[in-house]
Amino acid sequence: MNSGPLGSTQLRKPEQEKVMNADHHPQHPLGPFIGSDLGIDDQVRRYRDERRRRHQEQKNKERRDQQRRCIPSREEEIIQFAVIWAPYGVPSDEETYQRFGMSTRQFFETVRDLLHLGKCPPETQSRLTMYADPTGTLPDQNAK
């Protein structure tokens, strides 16, 4: 604190003071005041809040991605089922009805539509060429 010309007490501005540490090396003039500077506290709080928010968003995104991988859509299930059956021909009516509630003909048409819409990767499409017949002719069920 400083006494003014009229004997009033005035506070020194921290930027006017050079603070020395124990080794008498100059420190940043605001060094002792950093903890009380609300601007920096606000910045730190905002940084932490933003970091927590980003971290939470990342966790939520990973959780959603995990759920998508664990719970395939109906279209994905149909394609996976067709891939499993591809080496053996077309699944029986019982299989498709139990699994998807449709006849073999409907299953065949659904797979063909999904292939034409590009709903599966190219390597899967190449494995399911028997379903891509535009005439709608079912392949032989006993084909191996």
pLDDT digits (tens, 9 = 90+) for 81-134: 988 888 888 788 999 999 999 998 999 888 888 888 877 778 888 788 777 665
DSSP 51-110: HHHHHHHHHHHHHHHHHHHHS--HHHHHHHHHHHHGGG-SPPHHHHHHHHSS-HHHHHHH
- Do residues 109 and 132 lie in contact, with contact meaning Cβ atoms separated by under 8 Å? no
Q: Which two tokens mark 94?
A: 């019982």
The structure's pTM equals 0.45
Distance CA 132, CA 79 (A): 13
